[in-house]
Structure 1
Amino acid sequence: MYSYVARQAILNVDEEIVGYELLFRDGVENAFPDICPDQATSQILTSNHLTKGLESITDGKCTYINFFEDTLINRFPTSLDPKSVVIEILESVEISEELLDACRALKKQGYKLALDDHNFDPVWDIFLPYIDTIKVDVRQFNILQISKYVRRIAGFGVKLLAEKVETREEFEQLKTLGFQYYQGYFFARPEVLKSKQIKANKLNLLQLISQASRIDMDIDKISQILAQDVALSYKLLRFINSAGFNSNQKITSLKHAIVYMGEAEVKKFISLLALANLSGDKPDEIMVLSLARARFCSHIAQARGDDENPPMAFLVGMLSLVDALLDETMDTLATKLPVADEIKQGLIEQKGVLGLYLKLALNYEKAQWDEAETLSMAIRVPINDIHEYYQESLAWADKIRNGERGGK
């Protein structure tokens, strides 16, 4: 399963690339599909930002993303780093006090806002104190109309970005009018990028939506649902690893992640997934194996009496195959997650106590019985017990595959 996104370069007056606008695509065809704008934005965030990270798509340059009415009012942009993103307000959104309040709040949090395909309508003037950039479609207006508008808004201190620039002559004319940024076929056409996507179980997502709709969320139940879906667990951790949270916080369990986020952010995360219609078929073999490893590592930690490690051990097993799901190296992926150093060490180097648990799971998968027995003695858990834990973990993962529910 793959996700697609197009990026189009944004350049300065020296024709240097300073950012990229991301455009939703649902296939290799370079055209916007027939879906609502809110869903398109949510798909970009869940399929790209919460999986690989926007920085890998834009080569670390500034990212311009379109947001429609609902995603703005519900503060979805706050899952992004305000230092590296520009929030584009689509020209077709309905102006309201709610929208104006959302723009004020985003601006106060340090986000840069842009009016996309601005039509020069004075009704938008009340937004200008919060706007950093105005994007003008130069195919819609002649040079005289553009010049008049530029003079009218000169006191607001906004920057101007010319869209759909197609010739050198247009570029030079627009420079004399004071445009700082440029986008169009004269510089670069949108480029479609394809990346591997993690599938989430539809039943798990529906159960999360149900929990999020309750007045009092059941944190234990949400943790249990997440514990049965590697895709949702990974995206949750990526969601936390954003500017809205303390980057020094190290997550040790799924329940810890949910409590740390707080109810409002958990509901935002679930809404983002729901709006993107994140769905899929039954988990494939890689995902089932991830679940089995998670259960097995947790069993071993509990057998050893590790007070802190059972939830961390579960995360190590759960995330141990994310590199295979996303076709990236584990050390690259682990740096994108706000997990405890012990978890990162276990995932990347298979060292430390958590690394031993994961290594033991791998021994069983490869039928390396001598190595398994050596490890069982090192961690002081009887080999017969370990065998039972492994069989039970496989059975538990199969139950999840078949849609049944069981506690962690």
Structure 2
Amino acid sequence: MFAFIARQPILDREKDVFAYELLFRDGKGGAYPELEPEKAKYIAQHFHPLGLDDISGEKQSFIHFNPDTLISRFPTSLNPESVIVQLNEPNAPTPGLLEACTHIKDLGFKLAIDDPLMLSGKQDIFSLIDIVKVDVTRTNYDLIEKNIPRYIDSNIKLVAEQVNTHEDFDSCRSLGFDFFQGYFFAMPEARIQRHLPASKMNLVDLMGESARSDFNLNRINQIIERDAALSFLLLKFINNPAINKRYKITSLKHALTYMGEVEIKKFIALLSLANLSDDKPLELIHMSLVRAKFFDLLSQQRGVHLNPPIGFLIGLFSLLDALLDQDMPDVLKQLPLTDEVNDALLGKSDEFNSYISLSRAFEGALWMNIIKQSKALDFDQKQLHMMYNQAIQWGNGVRSTISAYFPKPVIR
């Protein structure tokens, strides 16, 4: 039962999500929270808390535990198949902690340690470790290079933390790291300036239609009919239970009848974005989905730009520069979006700048920034957590539909 939480993706060498690290606002240093019974009951009654499956979907969860929790209050409800127990900086662990770690391993959990000093193989806990996390911005490069073979020989997996650029990813991958934590994948790669290929122009046209105040069904049908795969995917999206639980939709006209103009605009934009860049990690699309839903919920609460659904579109398109490896101004020159959407994506809207700051705060577990933006937007911060949780759940559901049709990224 978790209500106030952030998650950060951990990607594998192919840039697929291996797991999410979960960071808890109510836990010391982001650790697993030990809530008083009354507070836990209050959260359950008022804030629709998530379970681990809601947060991480089908992925594993790294959860940091304080030593006292591991020794005496380790929660029995957690599933060892989906949770990796993380212990931060376990230098000179006490006999009680070693015994607790041994017990946790006997229960079937994997043990990860966050170790900036590259733990000596002589320490007693070394034999219990499955995964070592290394902050590559704090750890001496020579020390990393020297110790990595020892971990590989011991069949210990390595996670590089604070991987914030594509160059960082390439370097850590070459060193032998197995997994990578950081938002490098949400940054544009340095490449030669290029225009969108002609094969993608149907998608560009659909993105433009989704941002128009009017809705021309015939025009949209004409665009979709140029590409049978688009029609199939749009119907697949619309019939996803995370989006539409009530009706079996058989055509775009049928969808318009039951779902309405605004919802159809959202999913036309979503379909376009998901297929616009076919060589990027799916997690980048997933981040865009969560932002889209979160911005949409914020816009609805504040009564801002509901048709077309500007909040949804701005959240969805907020990572276009990373998806297309171009600066945002260059991207927007090639897309038929409205001035309102363009201005927001260029940082010229105070309203949507606050939305973007909030998203980044949730993505980075920057709790004080969430408090600051809640005051700026006149929101109860707990309500913001609720809406972000809802956006995560929605994004997980849509991602499950996309993933079967999304190409694997090309590792350069």
TM range (shorter): 0.3 to 0.5
**Which structure: larger Rg?**
1
Pick 1 or 2: higher relative contact order, CA cutoff 8 A, min separation 6.
Answer: 2
Q: TM-score, normalised by structure 2?
A: 0.40
TM-score by length of 1: 0.40
